[in-house]
Structure 1
Amino acid sequence: MIAKGYLRTITSSPIDDCEGYDKPSSKLSNPSSLVSLSNSYDGPPSTDRPIPSWDKPSWVAAHPTEPGLIAATNEVTDGKVHLFRYLKDGKLKLLESVGTDGEDPAHLAVLEDEIVVGNYSSGNLLSIPLSTSAPHLGSVSPSIQLTGSGPNKSRQSSPHPHQIFPYKGRLYVPDLGSDRVIQYEKKDGQWVEVGDIKSHEPGAGPRHVQIHDEILYVIEELTNTLSAYSLSDGKHIASLSTLPSPPPNLTVSSSTTGSSPTPSSAAPEGAPSALPLLAAELLLVTHPEPLLFATNRNETHPEGDSITIFSPIKDGNTDAFKLVNSVRTGLNHARGAAFGGDKDKWLIVGGADKGGVKIFERDGKDLRPVVGIAGVIAPTGFLWGVASPSPIPVSAMSSVHPRWGRPLDDYVGSYDLAAAKKRIDITSTMKAEAEESISQVVRLAGPSQYPDPEGTKVVTLQVLESILNLSMCPQTYHYFADPPLISGCLKLMGTVEADNRMSPFSYEYGYLCFKIIVLAIGTNILLRTENLDMTIANMESDTNTELILILSGHVSRAIKSEIEIGNAGQLCSWVLGWVRVQDRRQLQLTHLMLRSDILLLLNMLWDDRHFFLKTYMMTHSPGLSGVMFVLWRYLYSNSIFVESLPSENLAIPFCEILWRYFLVATTDQLESLVYINNDVQLSSKADQWTDSSKHVTLDDLRIVLQAYTGRMSLVDSPTYLSFEINAILVLLNFVTQIMQPGVEFLLPPLIGNTLDRIWEIINNKKEDDQETIIGIGRVFGLIGRYAVLDLVETLAGRDLPDMVARAMIVLEPYSTKASESYMYGVLGKHDGIILAA
């Protein structure tokens, strides 16, 4: 696979070679050099042919879902934005250009349907409508003028937006001039300032930002610092120098390209000394561990400017925020830098003074120089990942999606146990914001699977997060007891795609939609069964347990009670508003969910079952007993409704989703899940799954086996108690029926952990527990299908002969009666071992 990068350069020297692009008009003049870099993943990048650009280009960025569309700026008095198309023959074609309504546009962000530009000298922002089809650039709205100033009068007399950083539906704009990072949110189609985070040290001059684990990291140009701020409240956490060792007396090359250096003496009294133009770029990588990379400028070191590497704050531990490495670049005025390649393997850096480009190979926090390009004049910015003019599948892109947020591997770490334990006080402002957010989602509710596109655009990640804030306070859980909230979130969840299919768990947006759905279903069930007040009281009194775990436990017990009362029949469906039951006060309940929405939910979980399981393996999320109950009752709705009957084949995806969730369910969920599983085993539904074709890829199978092995491991937590023999049988049967070649290396730990649990059951069982012994025999039968030579050592290590002997001794003599437990259901169709003495 080829990954190409484009680098912008500042120069006024024209070049004659225009072969690298197709210019349809003469609107632009004075072309300078735009250099194409290419690399294979098998080796480092190398130079390619030059491609022309224009006077003082400053920033370049690609469209988030169609990387063949590339935008760039000219940092000149009459600012311009140019849009290119990357063609099949490797050329760039200029499509359209538009003015930025300001001076010296230093940065731009390309969103899904607009380009947002920051004009440095005039201190304003401009939004340019963008379409992936012609005409591409629409009529611009009035620009947004920033306000404010800072104590350094030579650099901060007026606003200077230096970056546009999209994150979860908001724009974060570091304003070097006003000493703050401004937050913008879209309301009624316009970007509106909704808050800011002020620099801890006046005169710091914020330049660029990154966000990791809800902490804002700001590289501050005028004080050469990297500062961390809480994203939620803007509080300063810590600051570090960006320099490997700050020099006592700094000098600057007089030939520095770009803004004039500001000597320390220019800083006003009371402001920190402003070191001249040092801190520059800030980058974040997450593999194999999160790290921040900062570039420094004009250190006048014989080995060039440095890149300093920092570990971020981890789980609230500020001591983790520290310098971990530094590397000399051999460049002067190291301004622009960008990561590219598989797992950010390559780092490209440019020296804006005296020119030159260096490319480094990254190994964790270490950088090794591999290529140097001396002939590039004043490079300022780089772009990777436009190897093909065709749209790149979204699932293959590692960057944050402008609408859907972080991809799965990046967002799951933010929803761990520590996050689940968090409680907050909901202020009146937060409550009003959440109420407005809920109303925006509820407007999308209804029978149509395809919601109004304009209505979905206003529901950003920030909107979903404001709703989920309500789940961190017991007094605000009643807000989730709103059935249309479920329908609206389902419609939004269905908008998330990867590889041209619905894949809600591929991105944080879809996961948050599902999380709200789970909370809303559970809260509504508790309200209808008159258990909500008790649950909230439990939340208030038990401050040591996660709120979502308390909610999930109560939901599971309420469902178990209703199944027992209704004998697993249609009487259970009164909770959904489908039937009326005597002696129930809520006789006029509205439908909890539309049946079309239930079908949509089942289809989405089935289509995205791989990422569904992976997400629940890696996050601490609310229990799904309520969701499973709703899906289960939908399978029986044909006896209640005569129109739009559900297909009998829906039992196949339901069974698999149920068992996949069984692999990661907390212990409190098993009370209700066992009843639901009993029903599908006793009926023909489990048989339908058994007789169906198995749709599982090798990667998916590995995730399933890892989930099973992990669940069978010993855990010292009341949240995940060991399974009983019946549950082990159901899951082992599921796992063995989807087995295929290519996962042999996962079998020894799988079988070993299973046998460990069997030993535990034998040691804890009562005398004459015939059902358990028969279950153990069936486990041996299932394991026996894969008892190949590679497993002999594993079986011997678990004292298998002793286990068999022990089981034979505790079984009542001469008893050969088979268990009648319908938990075995489908297992009875396969050969097992029934032990008798």
Structure 2
Amino acid sequence: MVNFTILAGGYSSSIVSYLFNTNTSALTYAGETQTAPNPSWLITTKNALGRDVIYATHENENGTLATYANLGGVLSLVDSVSSGGNGPVHCAPLTSGDVVVTNYGSGNGLVASTAHDGYDLTQTSNVVTFTAPEGGLSHPHMALEYNSEVLVPDLGADTIWRLGKDNSSNSSSWSIHGALVHDKGSGPRHIVVYEDILYTLHELTNTLTAERLPNVTTSTTASQLLGNVTIVPSDTPANATRAAAELLLAPPFLFASNRHIDGENDPRGDSIAVFDQFLNLQGHVFTGLQNIRGMQFGGNNNEWLVALGAVSGGMVVYHREGGSLTEVARNGSAIARTSAVIINAATNLRNA
């Protein structure tokens, strides 16, 4: 038996803890930690001592990046710094120990440094400003480290920015080294990379695309798509407005959430579209949730997937086998949340 702690953040002033028991499939409320307002994005990593470091972006006009220590499912704030802008919606720890924060509201990103334990933050002057489209705004939505680059999908500029280290004495300084331009109005939101193929989930067109990543250059190039597919079920209500949100990779399968925004609700709830690496649709999993903003994997080989309704429906845990998802636990009273992380809380060695 394995107990997992699921930490959920959203537009409130707390991070809520739930306990998931793999033996009984129970998903129960375990408590909450009061925080600064709007911890809308959570991510976790292990430090050099094997301890959990939880990073949270507090999505406010004067945004912040915070670190929390996990004390048996109870969080303790360790440090907090400015995100360098307005509305941080995502952060990504890098292998160097730095953390990239993307500010959706102000069109920029910050690279913060951490101490060796991962908890103590240093706000650097390394703020990257992304180019706004003519007559529009830049809206960077996430950051992904891949090889020597950091890739940033910009929903407002319809561009994937390619960040690299500057060739200067300050080896920790990052700047834009190139870009991949996507279709105007598509709204690239979240990305993954598998075998040098960049998969991009587009919020505004509800599509998933695949393109081969060209060698790192300093140029801006148009996206050369290998595939472009819809994530919307063919039998979705005709007057429903959808917006793609989260994209996860469990090789060779991709899992894309398709959130309801307006119009007629699908009585089956929002769906998770599953594709193989060639963008062949494996099927839709209907969740009973409304407005899936957040999904996350956990456990060995990403065998568990948690999905949350940002409007209603609570939280669902699925067991993953290949490209198949089987519901194993649901908590319909879980507070509407936008992101979650799964932490291995305790293992019963006798039954493991």
Global fold match (TM > 0.5)? yes
Partner of 1:4: 5
Q: Measure the CA separation in 1 of the matches of 2:26 and 2:177.
A: 42
Partner of 2:233: 244
Partner of 1:204: 186
TM-score scaled to structure 2, two decimals?
0.86
Query: 2:247 is aligned with what amino acid?
Result: L
Query: 2:253 is aligned with what amino acid?
Result: L
Q: CA deviation at 1:3?
A: 3.2
Query: 2:31 is aligned with what amino acid?
Result: P
Alignment of 1:170-209 (within 5 A): 170-187=149-166, 188-199=171-182, 201-209=183-191
Q: CA deviation at 1:180?
A: 0.8
Q: CA deviation at 1:93?
A: 1.1
- In the superposition, relative to structure 1, how do residues 132 and 123 fare at CA in structure 2: closer, same or farther (>3 Å)? same
- In the superposition, relative to structure 1, how do residues 78 and 235 fare at CA in structure 2: closer, same or farther (>3 Å)? same
Q: CA deviation at 1:248?
A: 7.5
Q: Measure the CA separation in 2 of the matches of 1:351 and 1:67.
A: 29
Partner of 1:57: 39
Alignment of 1:345-494 (within 5 A): 345-354=303-312, 356-387=314-345
Q: CA deviation at 1:326?
A: 0.7
- Secondary structure of the structure 1 residue equivalent to 2:345: coil
- Secondary structure of the structure 2 residue equivalent to 1:343: helix
Q: Which moved more, 1:128-137 or 1:371-380?
A: 128-137
Q: Measure the CA separation in 2 of the matches of 1:230 and 1:99.
A: 35
Q: Which moved more, 1:188-197 or 1:176-185?
A: 188-197
User: Is contact 1:9-1:379 (8 Å) kept?
Assistant: yes
Partner of 2:350: none
Query: 1:169 is aligned with what amino acid?
Result: S
Partner of 1:762: none
Query: 1:235 is aligned with what amino acid?
Result: Q
Alignment equivalent of 1:294, drawn from 256, 267, 272: 256
Alignment equivalent of 1:149, drawn from 130, 133, 138: 133
Higher helix share: 1
User: Is contact 1:117-1:127 (8 Å) kept?
Assistant: yes
1:109 aligns with 2:92: yes
Alignment of 1:600-611 (within 5 A): none
Q: CA deviation at 1:191?
A: 0.8
TM-score scaled to structure 1, two decimals?
0.38
- Secondary structure of the structure 2 residue equivalent to 1:327: strand
Q: CA deviation at 1:336?
A: 0.4
- Secondary structure of the structure 1 residue equivalent to 2:301: coil
Query: 1:312 is aligned with what amino acid?
Result: Q
Q: CA deviation at 1:38?
A: 2.9
- In the superposition, relative to structure 1, how do residues 182 and 45 fare at CA in structure 2: closer, same or farther (>3 Å)? farther
Q: Measure the CA separation in 1 of the matches of 2:154 and 2:245.
A: 14
Instruction: Give per-residue Cα distances to partners, 1:306-334, cap 9 Å, x unaligned.
Output: 11100112xxxxxxx21111111001111
Q: Measure the CA separation in 1 of the matches of 2:100 and 2:337.
A: 22
Instruction: Give per-residue Cα distances to partners, 1:322-357, cap 9 Å, x unaligned.
Output: 111111100111110011122222111111113511
Q: CA deviation at 1:134?
A: 8.6
- Secondary structure of the structure 2 residue equivalent to 1:324: strand
- In the superposition, relative to structure 1, how do residues 90 and 161 fare at CA in structure 2: closer, same or farther (>3 Å)? same
Partner of 2:69: 85
Q: Measure the CA separation in 2 of the matches of 1:128 and 1:44.
A: 38
Q: Measure the CA separation in 2 of the matches of 1:40 and 1:377.
A: 19
Q: Measure the CA separation in 1 of the matches of 2:200 and 2:112.
A: 26
User: Is contact 1:355-1:379 (8 Å) kept?
Assistant: no
Say which structure, 1 or 2, has more relative contact order (CA 8 Å, 6+ apart): 2
Rg comparison, structure with higher value: 1
User: Is contact 1:181-1:196 (8 Å) kept?
Assistant: yes
Query: 2:246 is aligned with what amino acid?
Result: E
Q: Which moved more, 1:113-122 or 1:188-197?
A: 188-197
Query: 1:244 is aligned with what amino acid?
Result: P
1:312 aligns with 2:270: no
Q: Measure the CA separation in 1 of the matches of 2:119 and 2:273.
A: 43
User: Is contact 1:56-1:76 (8 Å) kept?
Assistant: yes
- Secondary structure of the structure 2 residue equivalent to 1:181: strand
- Secondary structure of the structure 2 residue equivalent to 1:194: strand
- In the superposition, relative to structure 1, how do residues 132 and 63 fare at CA in structure 2: closer, same or farther (>3 Å)? farther
Instruction: Give per-residue Cα distances to partners, 1:99-148, cap 9 Å, x unaligned.
Output: 11211100001224211100001000001111134981113214111112
Partner of 1:257: none
- Secondary structure of the structure 1 residue equivalent to 2:269: coil
1:303 aligns with 2:265: no
Instruction: Give per-residue Cα distances to partners, 1:156-212, cap 9 Å, x unaligned.
Output: x1100001111113111000011011111122321121111111x221000000111
- In the superposition, relative to structure 1, how do residues 191 and 160 fare at CA in structure 2: closer, same or farther (>3 Å)? same
Unaligned runs of 5+ residues in structure 2 are 216-222, 347-352
Query: 2:140 is aligned with what amino acid?
Result: P
1:333 aligns with 2:295: no
User: Is contact 2:299-2:344 (8 Å) kept?
Assistant: no
Instruction: Give per-residue Cα distances to partners, 1:794-835, cap 9 Å, x unaligned.
Output: xxxxxxxxxxxxxxxxxxxxxxxxxxxxxxxxxxxxxxxxxx
Query: 1:122 is aligned with what amino acid?
Result: S
User: Is contact 1:69-1:86 (8 Å) kept?
Assistant: yes
Instruction: Give per-residue Cα distances to partners, 1:694-752, cap 9 Å, x unaligned.
Output: xxxxxxxxxxxxxxxxxxxxxxxxxxxxxxxxxxxxxxxxxxxxxxxxxxxxxxxxxxx
Q: Measure the CA separation in 2 of the matches of 1:214 and 1:111.
A: 19
Q: CA deviation at 1:86?
A: 1.3
Partner of 1:71: 55
Q: CA deviation at 1:5?
A: 2.3
Tell me the matched-pair count.
Answer: 327
Q: Measure the CA separation in 2 of the matches of 1:48 and 1:241.
A: 36
Q: Measure the CA separation in 2 of the matches of 1:3 and 1:69.
A: 16
Query: 1:104 is aligned with what amino acid?
Result: G
Partner of 2:220: none
Alignment of 1:350-749 (within 5 A): 350-354=308-312, 356-387=314-345
Partner of 1:605: none
User: Is contact 1:335-1:352 (8 Å) kept?
Assistant: yes
- In the superposition, relative to structure 1, how do residues 248 and 368 fare at CA in structure 2: closer, same or farther (>3 Å)? closer
Alignment equivalent of 2:111, drawn from 106, 127, 132: 127
User: Is contact 1:102-1:122 (8 Å) kept?
Assistant: yes
Q: Measure the CA separation in 1 of the matches of 2:210 and 2:46.
A: 27
- In the superposition, relative to structure 1, how do residues 43 and 230 fare at CA in structure 2: closer, same or farther (>3 Å)? farther
1:169 aligns with 2:148: yes
Query: 1:92 is aligned with what amino acid?
Result: L
- Secondary structure of the structure 2 residue equivalent to 1:122: coil
Q: CA deviation at 1:40?
A: 4.5
User: Is contact 1:219-1:282 (8 Å) kept?
Assistant: yes
Query: 1:110 is aligned with what amino acid?
Result: P
- In the superposition, relative to structure 1, how do residues 147 and 5 fare at CA in structure 2: closer, same or farther (>3 Å)? same
Q: RMSD over aligned Cα, in angstroms? A: 2.1
- Secondary structure of the structure 2 residue equivalent to 1:83: strand
User: Is contact 1:226-1:240 (8 Å) kept?
Assistant: yes
- In the superposition, relative to structure 1, how do residues 185 and 277 fare at CA in structure 2: closer, same or farther (>3 Å)? farther
Q: CA deviation at 1:218?
A: 0.2
Q: Measure the CA separation in 2 of the matches of 1:248 and 1:46.
A: 31
- In the superposition, relative to structure 1, how do residues 385 and 241 fare at CA in structure 2: closer, same or farther (>3 Å)? same
